[in-house]
Chain A
Amino acid sequence: MTDLASPTVRVSTRPAETRRDIGIKRRYAAERRFRAYGISAIVLGLFFLAVLVSTVVSKGYTAFLQTTITLPIEFSEKVIDPKNERATDAKQLMTANYPLLVRDALVKQLGLDATKRPLVKQATDMISASARTQLRNIVVADPSIIGKTVPVTLLAEANIDSAFKGQIDLSVAETNRKVKDRQVAWMNELADAGILKTSFNTGIFTFGASSRPEAAGVGVALIGSLYMMLIVLVLSLPIGVAASIYLEEFAPKNRLTDLIEVNINNLAAVPSIVYGLLGLAVFINFAGMPRSAALVGGFVLTLMTLPTIIIATRAALKAVPPSIRSAALGLGASKMQTIFHHVLPLAMPGILTGTIIGLAHALGETAPLLLIGMVAFVVDFPGSPLEPSTALPVQIYMWANEAERAFVERTSGAIIILLIFLVFMNLGAILLRRRFERRW
């Protein structure tokens, strides 16, 4: 009893509060601190996201507006087909001097003296050089237009476009900027007359690459990215799912499968440019596939995406409780029936989420495409995955390196387009998970 008595004596000497102190205050404080850290981490993340998105949007939203000039173009027979040969010579309509039509219309509109060449040149410089093909296409599509006067909406030249959007500092000395004072005066004159105005820029979605900013768009890049995403989806989903089902459900657990697992995890972390080197060596140099083609790009991105899909699929298969498998097997289902009828449907949301995240990752890749020739200037739309094309992130990279001022907004504009695609893909992943996820 004396042994017991002594602690009671010791305790009784202390004040009552300290006896009950089991660190409650300290632990609450620690929890509050931890929460504060967590919140500040999220706030910091959101802050950077907001900075990124706001700079991109504030720089890029103007790319979706394009300045156009609508002029009554007289499709004069004297200019297009002076010798009346179009019935016999198809080339006549292709090679006609269409810029002259634009010049005449503009000279008339501005009331200029057509003999003053430098003045007229400054005026015609306000209209995109792509007017030649635009007018040619109109005439070739409908030769009966020759002889008529039709209003045609032409693209304004990129510098005029920038100036009209207020992106060019007009206080700089005239010799140091691309837009001359006289052009600004004409621009304002045409704007007051309602001939020059900005409208929604559909061209940024439909045009291919161009050295003229006003005629440049992400059309080819969109098609190229679409081809590649289809190829990646079609190849990597079945291969990835088959590989992970075998590894997870059938393969014996031994050193070999361990080694395979380690390698797959390593491959997921390999820098993407390595896949580009591999693609160049195997698909182009060895198999002789065409350069710059979306097909090769798709194959390379498939290799890159496979490890991600395999890891996600294995995790999804593992998350299906063993009781499901046991129940199915107990009722007499074969192993394959168990997997395909019970395990796989339950794992599907996880697999699809992993696939979409893998695809989104592949959509944003440029490095592996550099080596297989897809970082290229491609004007013509690819009719099949075998023809040269580029990809969305490649287009962003190439525009970012351009010297012309008008490409700055287009770069940000293309980033916005890419971001919208990524947001939709990730949204799809979340919806699929919500829709099919089951909890036990």
Chain B
Amino acid sequence: MKALKLTVAALVASAAFAGTAAARDQVQVAGSSTVLPYAKIVAETFGETFPDFKTPVVESGGSSAGLKEFCKGVGEDTIDVANSSRKIKDSEIEACKAAGVTEIQEVKIGYDGIVFATDAGNADLALKPEHLYKALAAEVVVDGKLVANPYKKWSEVDASLPDAEIAAFIPGQKHGTREVFEEKILAEGCKEAGAQDVIKAAVSDAKEQLAKCVAVRKDGMAVDIDGDYTETLARIASNKSGIGVFGLSFYENNADKLKVATVNGVVPSTETIASGEYPVSRPLFFYVKKAHMGVVPGLKEYVEFFIDDQMIGPDSPLAEYGLVSAPDAEREEIRKAFEAGNML
């Protein structure tokens, strides 16, 4: 027993020293939980198609966390690819540059639709950004004045909506989805409801105007969900009249439990999102370190495989899972831009 323990200890110690010297032979990816399922499918298929390379490791954790790891520097102890459900921010590019990551390639993989859904047992729901704004904003306009949101039931917002208490499960601040929700729904609804003009008259600063438009009520009718869509699904299961925000792919996987709402009369589907008819969608990206290309085996091949039509095309496994493919011309452009080595 003693001898065994000693040998194991020696092995661990030697492994610890060898570890700093051993080269990494595996692509490492981190970032957005929205991109994660797509990246997983690509990584797995990549590993099966290219037996010479190891299957890339895909970490979860969120767009911001992934980009932070990405911008730590260049070298084998840093990740190669950061998945992101939003565009990289200027401040993040600067942080990258300060740490020596000067060459970043941006790759768009397609679009993701954001849908509103309620329990499958409910009646059909036709939403407009205006409805959601009125139901969920912290302050709304009543008789030309900004007042704390007085609405308690959906039917008070609009007669076409159900006669049920307002309960909405929206993505929390740490999610990239929240930004899209604010931009495409709340800000839009703010405009439609005519609240923007009233706010403009009251506040002069443009940033504050927008902040007032997208401020969500805090009286418990709008619930921030910091977890994943599974949590939103569980909330809807326990509160049947609640409305939740989901990714299109998540909805499609649970279409037997959920009823999707139309937005401006358009049913969300990969077709209506690709054509731009359905208003709430966003592009998905990943970012690659050029300095790691040729150093980490399989990195270049992984990226090329990812943006190939067999992965992100209209009949690909990613599209089947719920990714909205970019139009043909745009996909061609994405590939050309990567080939040319265009950098941010």
Contacts and interface: CB of A to CB of B under 8 A. Distances in A.
B59 A288 contact: no
Given A373-B59, A376-B58, A288 B77 contact: yes
A160 B215 CA distance: 44
Contact of A401 (B15, B33, B54, B256): B33
Interface stretch (A26-34, A168-176, A198-206, A343-351): A168-176
A79 B60 CA distance: 39
Interface string B66-101: 000100100011010000000000000000000000
Contact of A384 (B15, B24, B26): B15
Interface string B3-42: 0010011001001101110101010101001001101110
A403 B120 contact: no
A54 interface: no
B5 A285 contact: no
Nearest to A408: B230
A385 B12 contact: yes
A388 B57 contact: yes
B72 A176 contact: no
Given A234-B12, A291-B28, A377-B58, A132 B20 contact: no
B48 interface: yes
Interface in A144-202: 168-169, 172, 175-178
A97 interface: no
A290 interface: yes
A378 B57 contact: yes
A403 B41 CA distance: 13
**Chain A interface size range:** 35 or more
Contact of A295 (B19, B33, B255): B19
Interface stretch (B159-167, B182-190, B246-254): B246-254
B58 A403 contact: no
Contact of B40 (A377, A386, A388): A377
Interface string A247-290: 00000000000000000000000000000000000001101111
A234 B2 CA distance: 11
A231 B15 CA distance: 11
Contact of B15 (A133, A373, A386): A386
Interface string B253-284: 11110000000000000000000000000000
A386 B8 contact: no
Nearest to B8: A234
Nearest to B250: A403
A379 B54 CA distance: 9
Contact of A388 (B28, B44, B120, B255): B28
Nearest to B247: A403
Contact of B48 (A132, A293, A401): A132
Contacts of A388: 26, 28, 57
Interface in A333-381: 370, 373, 375-380
A12 B12 CA distance: 85
Nearest to B42: A211
Given A287-B20, A375-B61, A403-B229, A177 B54 contact: no
B48 A234 contact: no
B51 A94 contact: yes
Of A231, A287, A403, most buried by chain B (CB within 10 Å of CB) is A403
B136 to A, nearest CB: 25
A398 B59 CA distance: 10
Looking at A370, A379, A384, A386, the one whose CB has the most chain B CB atoms below 10 A away is A379
Contact of B44 (A94, A95, A293, A379): A379
Given A212-B44, A378-B55, A403-B253, 18 more contacts: A129-B317, A176-B255, A177-B256, A211-B37, A211-B41, A234-B9, A234-B12, A285-B72, A289-B19, A295-B16, A373-B30, A376-B60, A377-B57, A379-B44, A386-B19, A401-B227, A401-B230, A404-B253
11 contacts: A231-B12, A289-B20, A292-B28, A373-B79, A376-B59, A377-B57, A380-B26, A385-B12, A386-B18, A403-B229, A403-B230
Q: Shortest 10 CB-CB distances between A and B: which pairs?
A: A379-B55, A377-B58, A403-B253, A376-B59, A176-B255, A211-B40, A401-B228, A172-B256, A388-B57, A403-B250
Interface of A: 94-95, 129, 132-133, 168-169, 172, 175-178, 209-212, 230-231, 234-235, 238, 284-285, 287-293, 295, 298, 370, 373, 375-380, 384-388, 398, 400-405
Interface of B: 5, 8-9, 12, 15-16, 18-20, 22, 24, 26, 28, 30, 33, 36-37, 39-41, 43-44, 47-49, 51, 54-55, 57-61, 69, 72, 76-77, 79, 120, 227-230, 249-250, 253-256, 317
